[in-house]
Structure 1
Amino acid sequence: MYLTKEKKEEFFAKHGKGKNDTGSAEGQIAMFSYRISHLTEHLKQNRKDFGTQKALQTLVGKRRSLLDYLKNKDIERYRAIVKELGLRR
């Protein structure tokens, strides 16, 4: 499996407020971004995998919602996470 427990803890420790801070918007956005990049690579090789395509669209929507929430709540945290992850917006 590409997303192990240790990998998740690493994301939340780096982007959240602590190792077990799974609820922070920054940690969730980082996790979604990692999963989105993984699914994008999978779809480049398997163009007709429509289930994965639907899952990818769902993840992109969830990440967008979290980014919008963070933008309205605290613009500095929003700018920091976008810059750190290298997102286009």
Structure 2
Amino acid sequence: MYLSKEAKQELFEKYGSGKNDTGSTEGQIALFTKRIAHISKHLKGNQKDFNSERALVSLVGKRRRLLDYLMKKDIMRYREIVKDLGLRK
């Protein structure tokens, strides 16, 4: 796997409320962002990998839905996570 268990825990610790808090919205958004970057890098060298392309589109949609939820729930947390991850919106 491209992301080890320790790397995931570090990611959740940085963006969630703890290393075992895998269900937090911010942690999930950060994980999806990491996976999107990994798949995008893969697709640059493998343009005809349509299964990975479909997975990428699915992940982007999931991340968008989580960001929309977070924006409705708490706008300050939304702005903070977008700024930290360097997302456009």
Q: TM range, normalised to the smaller chain?
A: over 0.9
Number of the residue aligned with 2:11: 11
Give the whole-Å Cα distance in 2 for the aligned partners of 1:3 and 1:83. 23
SS of the residue 2:60 aligns to: helix
TM-score with structure 1 setting the length = 0.98
Alignment partner, residue 59 of structure 1: 59
Q: Is the partner of 1:7 in helix, strand or coil? A: helix
Amino acid at match of 1:56: L
Identity %: 66
Give the corresponding residue for 1:85. Answer: 85
Show structure 1 runs of 5+ residues with no match. Answer: none
Which digits, 9 at most, give the CA deviation of each residue in 1:16-55, with x for residues without a partner? Answer: 0011001100000000000000000000000000000000
The residue identity in structure 2 corresponding to 1:24 is S
Displaced runs of 4 or more, over 4 A:
none
* Cα RMSD after superposing both structures: 0.4
In structure 2, give the amino acid aligned to 1:9.
Answer: Q
Segments of structure 2 that go 5 or more residues without pairing to the other structure are none
Q: TM-score, normalised by structure 2?
A: 0.98
Whole-angstrom CA distance in 1 between matches of 2:58 and 2:4:
21
Q: Give the match for residue 39 of structure 2.
A: 39
